[in-house]
Structure 1
Amino acid sequence: MDRRNSTAVTYFILVGLSEYPRAQVIFFCLLLVSYLVTLLGNSLILLLIHYDPQLHTPMYFFLSNLSFLDICFTSSIVPQMLINCMVRIPIISLSECLAQMCVLLYLGVVECLLLAIVAYDRFVAISDPLHYTAKMRPQLCVQLAVVPWFISFLLAVVPVLTMPLDFCGHYTINHFSCELLAILKLACNDLKFYELLMMATSSLTLLVPFTFILASYACILGAVLKMRSADGRRKAFSTCSSHLTVVVVFYGTAISMYMMPQDKASRDEDKIISMLYCIVTPMLNPIIYSLRNKDVKGAFRKLMGRKKDS
């Protein structure tokens, strides 16, 4: 960022719900509950996968990465939001705000790519179960898990760090956090080139993975329909529909935010939409992907039995 920008604005005021004290109390309670559920659910998944050898498979390897990412994602935004709910005028410094913006954008892009990898893993497991272990060998799994963290930095963080921002004295953000779009709406300089660049990167990180996930699950559903067992088809449909629900909520809200035309005026709807992919999806991921799985339930019972024996 250009150092001259920091001389004009040194802090931001996060409006959020500060104008509605009663709603702010309710929001604080809901936010705290969702954050605790996210932490406990994802931490439990990491604990079970670590201790149970039967869960040392490619599927649970990727799910453990997703759980770790969700903990980081929510922890980068929710604690600050909880603190802001307790203060009358939430203030954040310019450097802290820009850092939070980069972290949120970076982790959000990683989540987009990692969800596509999880869908690919399920596609290989169901379409070619006999060669699944050979195809998803440990080295390939590690590479697939590492690549999103590297690519996301190039696609998300580098363009933002090179973006010249001039706020011209505008310091009130109508949002709960320092999200990229909320910050850009305060900028008074010409950012048309970076808006086009953001649209291109959004296509790569949102549309392409979303299309790939839909195609993967279409192939999965095709393989499920060929199953002879009605009970097996019912369970597979239930699992796929749950996964697709989380995917549609995450990608749908993100696409509506970053790929639809935006005006300079801040909208209250933007705050609600961002809450869906920043808070709701990380809370649902462990419930949908893992905690409903019989292997995870068995690992949990074994862990509880081990603690009782000790």
Structure 2
Amino acid sequence: MSDILLLDDPAPMVRRLTLNRPEKRNALSNDLRAQVFAALEAADADPEVRVTILRGAGSCFSAGYDLGGGAAAPYPFHTAAGAGHWSRHVVEGCFRVWDLAKPVIAQVHGWCLAGGSELATACDLVYVAEDAQIGYPPVRMMSPPDNQFHPWLCGLRPAMEMMLTGDAIDGVEAVRVGFANRAFPADQLDAQVLAMAERVAKIPTDVQQMNKRSVHRAMEIMGLRAAIRAGAEIQALALTTKSSRETFAKFSEGVSQALDARDGAFGDYRTSSPAAHPRGGGDPS
């Protein structure tokens, strides 16, 4: 067990991973990502585990990748270098979760933004707090997602609105458009997710992995894997645009200031009321 990723077994056959950088709103540094992948793979190989829950400590699930330097090398695993390395690396990470034999459940509360939303969507089931805030604000000044799940999960119109505004949706709306399975009051989320995990764990892994793959293969036949990999190349191309380069240049002056400049005209995320969206380390990104 590490300081930034906590592991426990809250019920028979259930492993739970807790992102534990609450002071950074669980920003996904490469160190944290590496530990998540290792813990998921260890659970996949453990005969005493049938399902894994992934959640965040503190006020949120995850506000995104760690733009304050935590996304630099070393990386959790090797991905071919060259143009587009980061976006391909992220997509490969999402498919590492997708391709596990055992189900993974995302338990989402508070912020679930950018890289945090990509991590959640890589999981097999997603349960959210009703007041969770899920979005991809980098579309405003930087690029579309690395892992372009929106049209696959949410459909054309909701996906297009999220991509063209960068606005967040709450947990209830996330269920309506297909991002999540169910939404619960925040104070019931832990218990409800654990109850669902226990139901999933009743099915032996040798059967459950076939059940999981049957759904994934159907999505892949429709083109999901190829489309998301193609989307990673578009994301890499977007980072070469003038607006994207200017946004990244502002990070050298301070990540918080750059994100405030991005979202100020919209009056949301960091630029909304402190009571609704507390500031602190780990910027929504």
Same topology, TM > 0.5: no
| TM-score using structure 1 length | 0.26
| TM-score using structure 2 length | 0.27
Q: Which has the higher strand share?
A: 2
Q: Which has the higher helix share?
A: 1
Rg comparison, structure with higher value: 1
